[in-house]
A and B are shown apart, each in its own frame.
Chain A
Amino acid sequence: MSILTVSNISKKFEHTEVLKEISFKMERGDVLSILGSSGSGKTTLLRILNFLETADTGSITVNDEVTFDASNAGTKSEAEIRKNRLHFGMVFQSFNLFPQYTALQNVMLARELLEKAKPEFKTDKKRILEKIETEALELLNQMGLSDRKGHYPHQLSGGQCQRVAIARALALSPDILCFDEPTSALDPELTGEVLRVMKELADKNTTMIIVTHEIPFARDVSDRILFMDGGVIVEEGSPSEVIENPKEERTKQFLSKSNIK
């Protein structure tokens, strides 16, 4: 059983076709990297998975459950969309941490709000809040940020911010964790620390979709690579197939322009 099945996703902005009939599958524990130049549609694809955009056609299935179907997209209630959204976690290029909350509060906030909405919260308030905090601290520890839990985002470096953002996404235990160019906004000397924690997550069999320009990193962590161009998947396969021995002319051109060592 595939954890994620994407079929025939298309999307138009005004008159530009950004995605044309995109279909792919991924298995639990897979790391899937999506490569492609700017404007190839890879970020839009990620945003559609997270319901930040709505596809014009196609469907998305997670664990045999259809989370999105363009034919009835308008009929879903906000609550249903929110529930389906939680299958995915999202890490943004620009972190989007909440500036008025500390690192720890950033990680805890969404979990707290979800738990508070449940009926059992009232009776077992103290234990649930303690559990959320313990798990959040554990996640920050995993990101190497135990000593930064009380810091506000503006007191953290870009790399630290992005690691808090990863912890924040993990706090809701998503089935699939999505990264939208997570190191593009970082100074080169800070990308390493972010890539290292992503590698650790990959090693722990976290299911991840990574939109990235870091081709050597994609080659090292990914189980599969999608290469997109002009809104279609040009080539897909293992890193050795797509990166080491690309078959398509467009893939070769893209890889030769991005100087890999």
Chain B
Amino acid sequence: MKKLLAFLLTGAMALGLAACGSSSKGSADGSAQSDSEYVKANGKLVVGITDFAPMDYQGSDGEWIGFDADMAREFAKSLGVDVEFVEIEWDNKILELDGKTIDCVWNGMTLTDEVKSAMETSVPYCNNAQVVIVKADAAGNYSTVDSIKSLRFAVEAGSAGEEQLKELGITDYTAVTSQANALMEVEAGTSDAAVIDSLMAAAMVGEGTGYADLTYTVALNSEEYGVGFRKGSDLAGLLNDFFKKAAKDAFLEETAKKYGVQAALVEFK
């Protein structure tokens, strides 16, 4: 899908450049400017997010809060610009970055090879794992990696979970458009199991959630969360410095405690 779109856009680009010779000058000017200069000139850092507690979610007053949101707000302050949170369609995050409709993706994003090759990423700041979700009453049968291989899986297309299934040699799974859809597949019985982020699983399944009869069993890997910027952006380096400073004056840890993610926090030296 993304490749097809890129192909189409390349075709359109040929047309577009022919049609608007003058506007190509604008992009040349743009590339001479560093990304942090671009953001400062705009006066705001546009942060691409999805509604994803506890990293980014809306408080009762409609303000975006969460571990990532609070960090992003503080980072923008350190740059001397405002912060603007924009909800995006997760599949389109690279389009949004490259199209400059957002300046970074800061949303509990797993640092996969795909993400690292398409974006300029920060150092990891949180640990995460991909976990297997099954119906709670069957959980006892699926406590080892080998025992889950016979299950019919639903997994978000292009996610870290999908990569894990491939590594296990499971190819006969259903790719769906979001982690939430993967959970719905299990709940509805159309799939036996799903693979999602452990941070998300902690918030979404089990007692007191909408998926009370689901639970998570095996952790397939461990992985890390990072922040993504446009390829070649100098903002990634600035953020790394910011993280180091925030770790030193304990802001990082206090914020993590506030949102209950301190156990997953990466240690900054």
Q: Do chains A and B touch in the complex (CB under 8 A)?
A: no
